[in-house]
Structure 1
C-alpha cells in the first residue's frame, strides 16, 4: 500500500503510489497540460521548437516540460529542440543525468584520486621501521 504524503504541487494529502508523484487533481491537470504541449509539438512547423517557444505558446511551465522529456513522454528524437538540465551544471541534455563535460570532469577527478591512493600505498609500503635495542641490559 502507498504512503500518506503531501502533494508536491498543491500540498494536499494523498496516498502516494509508484506511478504518480502528485495527487489525482494535480495529475489530471498535468495530463491536460501534456495534451496541450503534445498537440502543439505534433504540428510539423513546431517539431523543432525550443522549450522557451513551447512555454510561450502553451503556457505550460518549463519544469513540467523538463519532467516529461526526462521521463521520455516527449522524445527528444522526435522533438530535437527539447531537453532537460544536467543535474550538476544545468546545461540542457537529452539523455542521462549529466552532460559530457561533467562526466569528463568526474572521470578526471576519479583518476586523480586513484593516482593519489596509489602514491599513498607506495609510500606506506616503502616505509621502514627501525628497532633499537637497549645495550645497557
Structure 2
C-alpha cells in the first residue's frame, strides 16, 4: 500500500493494489457505469456520442469502459473504440488482434536479441577466464 495522487480529483489517498483513482472517484465512476449500462439495456444500438448525450457521462470514461470490455456481456451492444496503433474498430482492449500479434512478435525479437547478447557476454567472460588459467 502506498500514497498516491488521484488522477481525477488530485486528492492524496492510500492506494490499494495499484489503484490510480481514489475510492470516492472509483465509486462515482461505478455509478456512471451503471447509468451507461442501464441506458444500453434500453438502447443496445447506441453510439458513444449518444450515450454521452443521454447520460452526461464523459466520452473518455465511456471509452475506458469499452476498452475494459465491460459491455461485451450485453446482447446487441456493438460499441467500438479505435485500435491505438492502426485505428481499426475494436470491441475491447487497446489494440486489434493484428497489431497485438505484431507487437508480441516485435517484443519476442527484442528478447531473442537481448538473450543472445547475454550469452555472448557470458562466453567472452569464460574465454577470458580460460586464458588466465592457461597462463598460470
Change (3 A) 1:76 1:91: farther
1:4 maps to 2:8: no
**TM-score scaled by length of structure 1:** 0.63
Q: Judge conservation of contact 2:4–2:14 (CA < 8 Å) in 1.
A: yes
1:61 maps to 2:58: yes
1:74 maps to 2:51: no
Structure 1 moving runs of 4+ over 6 Å: none
Q: Judge conservation of contact 1:76–1:94 (CA < 8 Å) in 2.
A: no
Show structure 2 runs of 5+ residues with no match: 110-136
Q: Judge conservation of contact 2:40–2:77 (CA < 8 Å) in 1.
A: no
Deviations 1:56-94 (A, max 9, x none): 111111111122122222217635331233122444311
Bigger helix fraction: 2
In structure 2, distance between residues paired with 1:88 and 1:38: 28
Root mean square deviation, CA, Å: 2.8
Aligned-residue offset at 1:34: 1.1
Query: Max radius of gyration: which structure?
Result: 1
Q: Judge conservation of contact 1:5–1:14 (CA < 8 Å) in 2.
A: yes
**TM-score scaled by length of structure 2:** 0.63
Change (3 A) 1:103 1:52: same
**Residue in structure 1 matching 2:85, options 81, 85, 88:** 88
